Amino acid sequence: MMKWKLLKKLKLTKKLGLTFKLNKKLYFWAGLFLIPLALALHPAALFKTTTGPEKKEQQATALLTEQGSAARLGQEGGPAGEGEDAAVSRGGAVSRSDVVLLAQVIEGEAADEPYSGKVAVGAVIVNRTKSTDFPKTIPGVVYERDAFESVSNVQYLRPVTAEAIQAATDAVNGADPVGGALYFWNPAKSSSEWVYTRHIVARIGSHVFAR
């Protein structure tokens, strides 16, 4: 009787061991199938969490799309083959990320200004890219040392608004309410005498614009 019980227990143990091995193989093959499936369905969620400036650019791009601005950036005079990722300003191709950066500076410098004042600030930056006295790109102009207070004190990193995006879009597409101005300042805040040696061309809101 004892021998029969031991034999039965041994058979049960072997059976359980076989089941365990089969389960391990099943889990292994299931894993090989599910991992590629997960990568195909949600690659960004598995490898990347979007934060900071990149998230801001995605939000701003969404605003561009909502307003129909993305279509204008890709269709109104856009260079062949570049589609939605480029616009044409008065001097060449401007990428969508450039428009977002321009909108950030507009928000930082002219958040409380009327819409025309926002476009004017954007136009000054675009105008500088056409001048031999300044860098030839929007990022080059924006990040030039001490060129803009909002960049120096990082206020330009505040969330951008739909109005700032629209103003930036208008500026790169040719809107220039300040007649080619290359400078602007707030008389209530600026103590520089040099700026008043420039030819003043417009006053919009709290800003003075000059060449």
CATH code of the domain covering residue 125:
1.10.10.2520
* Residue from 88, 70, 94, 167 nearest 124 by CA: 167
- Which of 10, 26, 47 is the C-terminal boundary of a domain? 47
Read off the pLDDT of residues 145-158 as tens digits, 9 standing for 90 and up: 999 999 999 999 99
Confidence of residue 90 (pLDDT cuts 50, 70, 90): very low
In angstroms, the CA 127 to CA 39 distance is 45
Assess whether 28 and 58 both reside in one domain: no
Assess whether 129 and 58 both reside in one domain: yes
Read off the pLDDT of residues 1-32 as tens digits, 9 standing for 90 and up: 554 454 455 454 455 454 545 455 555 555 55
Lowest mean pLDDT among 122-136, 159-173, 184-198: 184-198
Assess whether 43 and 76 both reside in one domain: no
Q: What is the pLDDT of residue 48?
A: 40
Buried b (16+ CB within 10 A) or exposed e, 151-176: beeebbeeebbebbbbbbbbbbbebb
Counting the structural domains of the chain, the total is 2
pTM given for the model = 0.62
